[in-house]
Structure 1
């Protein structure tokens, strides 16, 4: 991260104040915009659709609309704690899933957890296919059928590693390049 303005320095200062000591948690997104199974619009993969109007066609007073993920999934079978295989239906994918795709699931007790898969065991041949995936790491919490699976900017609950301190320092004209380090919170 390059911090080259006052606002970014304030964010870094806040991150250090909140996270130093490794006791507080952050929902950290995995920025997968350029590699996920998202549609290509105007030459770029688009994980999020914006500008969606209300049902009557109007937008909010500031001219903005709703936003939503372009590609999403849900579990087609419940899965137990420690499960190594998930069955998910993927909706609106612009290409088949491949090993570089991350996803996350919000667990009621553990929060957001990130996963990836190392093998496609099976895939149905339909518009919105059901995949059976061998995942890593194993499922952190039991999940029910219908649980949403986030493919667009998946998140994971993280914290700073033990012994790491995010310094607040800068060079002239508020320029610095701090290195952020995170480990999974649980």
Structure 2
């Protein structure tokens, strides 16, 4: 399986960052035949695309990190995990509350898991390509829709989704059990108890353009870069 780099979102400032699910042809300087939506199996939906405009490079640390990431991506062959920059529409942390085990039991002292600021997990199995999931969420303000989240699948790895609708919200101690409509459809089946990460939404991606991280050798540079969701792990083309 291809190793992943991680894009240091806190190191690089940019003028604009845009995330969207693209459902039409993906345009770029090189062919993305393996990633174009018309090649996707039924139910996969569109692809996440992230475009960063005018990334600010000035310090030796910034230039070195940029060059290291560019080298690791090997002209688009490598994979990179790209996090979203936190926005107001993210799930908002609420009163801290422990999340019990999937069978509703807690540890001997009555406590539960306290790892993520927003603790969430699937409460039922969700099939591949599912567009609705049931999730237990604690430590968050009530959802209103559009909240992004990540599930780290065994094979598909880090996959980004967003809440496109809320069909049920049942209050529980410290949170809610939700029935959530999601977009895109689930990239891989997931069992009950699978962790859902609303704190650090991120996605396994690759360069849209093989030359996408080139820049001019100046005192200050402002390169732009575009990433597209990497589907090789989903299509059996992952070495």
TM-score when scaled to structure 1?
A: 0.78
CA offset digits 1:142-171 (Å, max 9, x no partner): 100000000001111000014443114232
Counterpart position of 1:7: 61
Counterpart position of 2:37: none
- The size of the alignment, in residue pairs, is 159
Counterpart position of 1:81: 128
SS in 1 for 2:76: coil
Q: Distance in 2 between matches of 1:185 and 1:8?
A: 25
Unaligned runs of 5+ in 1: 41-48, 50-66
SS in 1 for 2:68: helix
Kept in 2, the 8 Å contact 1:104–1:149? The answer is yes
Q: Distance in 2 between matches of 1:37 and 1:17?
A: 34
Counterpart position of 2:82: 28
Unaligned runs of 5+ in 2: 1-54, 97-113, 232-239
Q: Higher RCO, 1 or 2 (CA under 8 Å, sep at least 6)?
A: 1
SS in 2 for 1:90: strand
**Residues 80-119 of structure 1: matches in 2 within 5 Å?**
80-93=127-140, 95-119=141-165
Kept in 2, the 8 Å contact 1:33–1:153? The answer is no
Q: What RMSD, in angstroms, separates the aligned Cα atoms of the two structures?
A: 2.2
TM-score when scaled to structure 2?
A: 0.61
Kept in 2, the 8 Å contact 1:75–1:146? The answer is yes
Kept in 2, the 8 Å contact 1:20–1:166? The answer is no
Q: Distance in 1 between matches of 2:194 and 2:181?
A: 17
Q: CA deviation at 1:34?
A: 4.4
